Amino acid sequence: MEENINSSKFSITKNSEEKALFIKDVSSIIKNLDISNLSDIDKLEDVINILASNTEHAWGKNLKLVNITRHSKKW
């Protein structure tokens, strides 16, 4: 007897509207970063943390729940 364990994950589907919106959001995030005063490592880390946080928010806004089966494609 074959065991079938279904699972799911959050993902942005290849060639989807969500992927296009994610890329648009991240492009905007990068464009709007204030990098005018990177005079020390602390300020650089602040900018990096803002980039990471905003990118994570954009990812969460555009992802969807995908069911994984043994027949799912691996990209």
Q: What is the chain's pLDDT, residue by residue, as a tens digit (75 residues)?
A: 555 566 888 888 888 899 999 999 999 999 999 999 999 999 999 999 999 999 999 999 988 887 777 655 555
Task: Supply the pTM of this predicted model.
Answer: 0.70
**Which pair of structure tokens corresponds to residue 24?**
């648009």
**Which pair of structure tokens corresponds to residue 48?**
């990096």
CB 51 within 8 A of CB 38: no
